[in-house]
Structure 1
Amino acid sequence: MAILYNEKSRIFTIHSKYSTYQMQVDQYDYLLHLYYGSKIENQEMSYLLQYNDRGFSSNPYEVGKNRTYSLDFLPQEYSVFGMGDYRESCLSVVNEDGSYDIELKYENHTIYKGKKLLEGLPAAYGSEEEVETLEICLRDRVTNLEVTLSYSVFYEYDVITRSVKVKNGGSNAIWLDRALSVCLDFANRSDFDYITFYGKHTFERQLERTKVRHGKTTVDSVRGCSSHQQNPFVILCDSNANEVYGECYGFSFVYSGNFKATVELDQFNQTRFVMGINDTGFSYRLQADEEFIAPEVIMAYSEHGLGELSRKYHKVIQNHVCRGKYKKARRPILINNWEATYFDFTSEKLVSIAREASSLGIEMLVMDDGWFGVRNDDYSGLGDWFVNTDKISGGLKKLVEDVNQCGMKFGIWFEPEMINEDSELYREHPEWCLRTPTRKGNRSRYQYVLDMTRKDVRDYLYDCISKILEEANIEYIKWDMNRHLTNVYSLGLDKESQGEVYHRYVLGLYELLERLISKYQDVLFEGCSGGGGRFDAGMLYYTPQIWTSDNTDAIDRLKIQYGTSFCYPISSMGAHVSAVPNHQTGRITPLNTRGIVAMSGTFGYELDVNKMTSSEKEMVKEQVEQYKKHYNTINYGDYYRITDPYHEERYMAWQFVSENKEKMLLQYVLLKPECNAPIVNIKLQGLEPDQVYTVVGTSETYTGSALMKAGYRIPEMNGDYTAVQIEFEAR
């Protein structure tokens, strides 16, 4: 069994393949954390607890004269505000009498095979053979507030998921001011580094690594979505941890709204980590017997560095978060018309792109923004999800049929959550916007945000999208969101419920997506928010791929895709070859390099193929064939970051190894060519040591051991941003 309980010592032990998590109900019925780390069997870790008489650390009444017992320094499994633990808390409640006191004591527990779904929320899933769950119920014996902590262990994947359910067992309403999902205390650690992923629009998920210092360090979002600016995935690791060495702890929040992730080093050099819904703008009313479910966090531990940690997340997200037909089915190589035409297109123009793209082996045309309402720029039209027949002459069905006759599938762009003032929908339903009644409200990209907490809004969007999908053979939807939330007020809720709007917005989005993907199971949904502004495990539950960034520059994409890879699988990253000079940076990069970089994702194109030269078109054909050939290795093999772009400026290299270790791709981009340059020798990873590998197209052979220990010499290269892809096969 993966989950064990010792009735005598009241210790819970959770084992995954290579890790152990342990906690204990103590003599006062508090749930204390004991250990999380490398696997330890047949050992109770309560000996790690230390009891000291600490000044200004209060003692619970029931401990009597024992001044060595305080919640202020003992490691908590789920920290609360108001009862003597002054560190960062997970739960803050305003009780019916106006007090903030919470005292959670052990009530009961349940262990069972399998894992329950979280109502209205995305979460990792698994069968009874794949996952085992522990639920621990804690209760405040004065107010009858109940908190159920859920731990599910995916043994073979080496991850543990955690979520929380809060139930008001009292007779009157209470208010949740904070309800986070995870607390993890390290009673004997003060030497962590904190790795986070900051960014901005067109430059997302840039790795930042800092030493954990005394006090609190927080990354968060209050933008209504997970955001370009920070990502809801973070890492705590040894100060000397690298790709192959050191202890690493990962935390991925399965949620697409406001979040916070805080690490605190306390006065006694103990480290606490908490993560969950951001409490800024959050106040959730719970009536008697009502429940609140805090979203899930996927935790993983690696004692062999950051690379191993990432591969654990890649596998569990691919197999136990992503769902549907395209979880594993090969996705079509697409061409998107946005950078080819922007708003200036007609049916004829789109068909001409499709016809030429089809001749090059590309498999799908995606029609981006501008096909609906009165939409010739971004000033108008959002919300009016009916076809603009001035552009789409003959209607959508005819256009799709014409594209299908070219041998191409057809996809379409939506931005369902947004509305322009200049739209029929706004003129009919201005109350459907998020906006404080006494204020005009902020516009962004000339648009407002629809109130997704409202059922009538969601029903309208469901009907509009369904009508479009029923009208023609549409096989792909790009779901965009091009602004963040402000003036967050719902005219559909009373004033006491306005602190719930941020969260209810996300729940409404999830409900709409669930309805659509359940009905249209053969449609591939791709998430997008101005590129990678909502790139999180929550969205991947509904959309198995996400447009990684609106920045299509191949060289910028190296860092963007590098940072994204720390949690999210290659199969989730939308990546396209675009024209040069690049529309975002003006940089000119070789087509070969653009292709190699874009192949490290869900490969496609975003340009007008009719403007390409004959030699460029031949290269596109070759890229398409290469991607198809290596599809499984790239998307479902093991991914290795060979170089770190923040420390190696001359070149960047990464590697894919097939699941059976018989195929390997090494991809390399030269960033700074030098005269009389030094030799570049790359030590590869993940191969079978005794297996002999051949460099495809040559007579070169090497053992896996030689490639990993002595390395592989990169051929001499020159020229700005040149790149090479080297294929190895087991002999």
Structure 2
Amino acid sequence: MSIIVNDNLQQFHLTNGTVSMVLKVVDGKLVNLYTGAAVPDSDFSYLIDDHFRVQSATPSDEHEGRFAEHQRFEYPEFGHGDYRHPAIEVAQSNGSRLTDLKFTGYAVHDGKSPLPGMPSTFAAVNADGRTINDASDAATTLTIDLTDELTGLSVRLFYTIFRDEPVIARSAHIRNNGNQPLTLTRAASFNLDLPDANWDMIEFTGAWAREREPHRQPLHQGIQQIESLRGASGPYFSPAAVFARPETNEDAGEAFGLTFVYSGNFDLHAEVDTYQSTRLQLGINPFGFAWHLEPGESFQTPEALLGFSANGLNALSQTFHRIVLDHLQRPTWARRERPVLINNWEATYFDFTEDKLLELARLAQQAGIELFVLDDGWFGARTSDNAGLGDWVANPDRLPQGIAGIASKINDLGMKFGLWFEPEMVNKNSDLYRAHPDWAIATPGHIQSVYRHQYVLNFANRDVVDNIYDQMHAILANANVAYIKWDMNRFITEAFDATRGAEHQGELMHRYILGVYALYERLFASFPDLIIEGCASGGSRFDYGILAYSPQIWTSDDTDAVERMSIQYGTSFFFPVATMGAHVSITPNHQTGRSEPLSTRANVAMFGTFGYEMDLTSTSQEDLAEIADQVAFFKSHAELLHNGDLYRLVAPFDHRRMAWMSVSADRAHAIVGDYVILGVPNKPKSRLYLRGLDTDARYHVTSTDGKFDAVRSGGELMHVGIDDTDLGPDFASRIYLVDRA
């Protein structure tokens, strides 16, 4: 059993042999006594903090009671002596924000229930490829009920532990059972109080075209925070972080990983007090958030995931990769190979005709590419970025027979057809805006900020979602569209919901993202086999919320192979290779102006979902032949690349080298990517040390450039390494194939 309940002790022990979390009711409050590597069950009462401290408040005599600010609360409140940031805050009709949530009950059940209206992990997938929730032993769920007697506020905390993964899913359901309205101003999904501060925080930061670079620094007294206020998770701070012991590296040491199954505003922070204890919190960003609850109404927080590793960062990442592929993504495409694609954007931008597209598709098909994706510019009055968004009807000047016509012609070539949408946006120069200007988010009396000539539609308004769904459904129902690229190029400004009153304005950002999820759900209900690739100016909404619907996300608009090494390397801490949209693009690259060999561009993109974004009509016959070879090579190794265990071998951030590898579950096969970023004159010897192999097994190792061919033991490959000193010059790369001899 993965949840051990001791009713006499009022103690709950979640464990699966790898991780343990121990909760206990102390003086009516729920506290966390231990979270970390799995331990045998015991009476953990000795971990309750009873130490006297000066200036600390207590609900009873100061020499007898327990001090609130030193307890490890599971869902803390502010105002009873705990001066750290609370997990919940509720404004009441008399102006008070004080609550006192006490334990009132619990339940344990097999499986895991979905969250209404939001993405969340599931317990397992059955033989028919359907998700199983309640009737599954692949996960077990504990619910704990807390109640504030004065206001009638109740909180149900959800804890799901997975049988085979050291991961615990957390969320909270909050209900107003009183007789007065309440306003929820803070509602974290996750809180964890740790007894020490001897941790490094690894956060993933960047901006457009340089997303998710890991930055590591020790925790210090005070607050270290990453957040978004943009209406999307954003490229600047990813809604995920690692907390690792200072000595932890890729291959050894303890680490927690914390991530959010959510795509909107978030707040993730670590608060260290002057007694060196640490509070970790993750949830909807409380800035500007206010959810009105009439009596009987409730609010469900999004889901947060806590992962643990005692064996370094690679093991932690592999755990999260399996959670994504086996417990989060729609089973239809989670571990199924998607078609190799070509996207026309960098080949044509807005300047295309149907004949040009078909010529590009013919060359792609000859190279073995399986899916042609028509990007921006096919609809309405769209010949540049200043018109057409919101009018999802094919432009007859460009596509005389509409989407059905070009899709049929692409299909006749033996390829699938894909289509770009930006459903959340509108141009003022569009029929939709002229008919419904009130559907664009704007605050009365204020300027309406603009970016890229576009505005954000109010997806908190069901009429808006209905309209966009109807337009998209009309296209998809009448044309053979196998794939959608769903873009989102603008964040929310002047946030105001014209359909709701003043007391509901703090709800817009969350209601907006619920509208996005609702559109995804409706599309899949009608078109269950559809592939939707998430995109938000590239990787501006690369999160577990989108991954629950999209098997892949466009990792970055930066298609430069050298830049992609850093971007995909950082992304891999929480996201599997199979989810990273990665394309071979033109050279000189359109974002950096850098020129790299075609082989290196492919060798980087293969450690992602594979495709091309270049004008094959102006490509040499020699390069077209090489592209055909690349496509064939990728197809023959896609299963290993996408479903193997990824090991990060050499980080790219010194601007010299980078390497990673994927190993099959049975350790019989591996594929290794080895890259030079900048060459070094008169360089010293270089050795590449592999990981994840069987020490005593013999492996045949070959390189795709024909320069390495040897049989070595797994122990040699991991501890003696491969001499790759000859790999060079700038931007050179090599792929090694490793097969048990």
TM range, smaller chain:
over 0.9
Deviation at 1:614, TM superposition (A): 1.2
| 8 Å CA contact 2:190, 2:282 repeated in 1 | yes
Deviation at 1:329, TM superposition (A): 1.9
Deviation at 1:496, TM superposition (A): 1.1
Alignment deviations for residues 210-262 of structure 1 (CA, whole Å, 9 cap, x no partner): 11111111100000000011101111110121101211000110000000001
1:294-333 matches, within 5 Å, as 294-333=301-340
Deviation at 1:440, TM superposition (A): 3.1
2:162 aligns with 154
Question: Are 2:67 and 1:70 aligned?
Answer: yes
Q: TM-score, normalised by structure 2?
A: 0.97
Alignment deviations for residues 442-480 of structure 1 (CA, whole Å, 9 cap, x no partner): 001111100001111011011000001112111000000
Q: Distance in 2 between matches of 1:566 and 1:242?
A: 13
1:685 aligns with 691
| 8 Å CA contact 2:701, 2:710 repeated in 1 | yes
2:680 aligns with 674
Give 2:662's match in structure 1, choosing from 652, 656, 677.
Answer: 656
Which residue type is aligned with residue 160 of structure 2?
Answer: S
Which residue type is aligned with residue 402 of structure 2?
Answer: G
Give 2:579's match in structure 1, choosing from 572, 575, 581.
Answer: 572
1:112 aligns with 109
State, as a whole percentage, how many aligned pairs show the same letter.
Answer: 40
Question: Are 2:722 and 1:725 aligned?
Answer: no
1:13-32 matches, within 5 Å, as 13-26=13-26, 28-32=27-31
Which residue type is aligned with residue 502 of structure 1?
Answer: M
Which stretch of the first structure deviates more once superposed, 48-57 or 425-434?
A: 48-57
2:651 aligns with 644
Deviation at 1:130, TM superposition (A): 0.6
Q: Distance in 1 between matches of 2:309 and 2:701?
A: 32
Question: Are 2:13 and 1:7 aligned?
Answer: no
Q: Distance in 1 between matches of 2:482 and 2:63?
A: 67
* SS in structure 1 of the partner of residue 212 of structure 2: strand
2:710 aligns with 700
1:574-589 matches, within 5 Å, as 574-589=581-596
Deviation at 1:97, TM superposition (A): 2.0
Q: Distance in 2 between matches of 1:485 and 1:216?
A: 26
Q: Distance in 2 between matches of 1:557 and 1:656?
A: 17
2:515 aligns with 508
Q: Distance in 1 between matches of 2:642 and 2:397?
A: 40
Give 1:368's match in structure 2, choosing from 375, 386, 395.
Answer: 375
Which residue type is aligned with residue 409 of structure 1?
Answer: K
Q: Distance in 2 between matches of 1:527 and 1:491?
A: 28
1:386-397 matches, within 5 Å, as 386-397=393-404
Which stretch of the first structure deviates more once superposed, 256-265 or 489-498?
A: 489-498
Deviation at 1:555, TM superposition (A): 0.3
Which residue type is aligned with residue 564 of structure 1?
Answer: T
What stretches of structure 2 of length at least 5 have no aligned partner?
124-131
Q: Distance in 1 between matches of 2:303 and 2:646?
A: 25
Q: Distance in 2 between matches of 1:96 and 1:107?
A: 24
Q: Distance in 2 between matches of 1:323 and 1:152?
A: 19
1:41 aligns with 40
Deviation at 1:143, TM superposition (A): 1.3
| 8 Å CA contact 2:687, 2:725 repeated in 1 | no
| 8 Å CA contact 1:633, 1:659 repeated in 2 | no
Question: Are 2:614 and 1:617 aligned?
Answer: no
Q: Distance in 2 between matches of 1:654 and 1:17?
A: 29
Give 1:145's match in structure 2, choosing from 153, 162, 169.
Answer: 153
| 8 Å CA contact 1:346, 1:393 repeated in 2 | no
Q: Distance in 2 between matches of 1:378 and 1:294?
A: 36
1:245-264 matches, within 5 Å, as 245-264=252-271
Which residue type is aligned with residue 6 of structure 1?
Answer: N
* SS in structure 1 of the partner of residue 626 of structure 2: helix
| 8 Å CA contact 1:114, 1:133 repeated in 2 | yes
1:484-633 matches, within 5 Å, as 484-633=491-640
Alignment deviations for residues 141-186 of structure 1 (CA, whole Å, 9 cap, x no partner): 2112101110001120221100001111101110011001111001
Deviation at 1:397, TM superposition (A): 1.5
Question: Are 2:102 and 1:94 aligned?
Answer: no
Which stretch of the first structure deviates more once superposed, 14-23 or 224-233?
A: 14-23
For this pair of structures, how many residues does the alignment match?
A: 726
Deviation at 1:715, TM superposition (A): 5.6
Q: Distance in 2 between matches of 1:469 and 1:590?
A: 38
| 8 Å CA contact 1:72, 1:86 repeated in 2 | yes
1:186 aligns with 194
| 8 Å CA contact 1:162, 1:182 repeated in 2 | yes
Deviation at 1:387, TM superposition (A): 0.5
Alignment deviations for residues 394-447 of structure 1 (CA, whole Å, 9 cap, x no partner): 222221111111111100000000000111110100010110122231001111
Q: TM-score, normalised by structure 1?
A: 0.98
| 8 Å CA contact 1:52, 1:68 repeated in 2 | no
Q: Distance in 2 between matches of 1:169 and 1:55?
A: 38
Q: Distance in 1 between matches of 2:650 and 2:315?
A: 15
Q: Structure 1's 699 and 94: CA in aligned 2 closer, same or farther, altered over 3 A? A: closer
Give 1:124's match in structure 2, choosing from 121, 124, 130.
Answer: 121
* SS in structure 1 of the partner of residue 301 of structure 2: strand
| 8 Å CA contact 1:17, 1:157 repeated in 2 | no
* SS in structure 2 of the partner of residue 327 of structure 1: coil
Deviation at 1:695, TM superposition (A): 1.5
Q: Distance in 1 between matches of 2:65 and 2:723?
A: 61
Q: RMSD between aligned alpha carbons?
A: 1.1
Deviation at 1:280, TM superposition (A): 0.8
| 8 Å CA contact 1:18, 1:38 repeated in 2 | yes
Q: Distance in 2 between matches of 1:31 and 1:55?
A: 24
Which stretch of the first structure deviates more once superposed, 688-697 or 654-663?
A: 688-697
Question: Are 2:410 and 1:403 aligned?
Answer: yes
Which stretch of the first structure deviates more once superposed, 457-466 or 123-132?
A: 123-132
Which residue type is aligned with residue 305 of structure 1?
Answer: G
Which residue type is aligned with residue 52 of structure 2?
Answer: D
* SS in structure 2 of the partner of residue 72 of structure 1: helix
Q: Distance in 1 between matches of 2:24 and 2:287?
A: 32
Q: Distance in 2 between matches of 1:186 and 1:398?
A: 60
Q: Distance in 2 between matches of 1:65 and 1:248?
A: 36
Q: Distance in 2 between matches of 1:672 and 1:447?
A: 40
| 8 Å CA contact 1:324, 1:521 repeated in 2 | no
Which residue type is aligned with residue 737 of structure 2?
Answer: E
Q: Distance in 1 between matches of 2:500 and 2:62?
A: 50
1:377 aligns with 384
| 8 Å CA contact 2:651, 2:657 repeated in 1 | no
| 8 Å CA contact 1:642, 1:654 repeated in 2 | yes
2:127 aligns with none
* SS in structure 2 of the partner of residue 176 of structure 1: strand
| 8 Å CA contact 1:10, 1:24 repeated in 2 | yes
1:59 aligns with 58
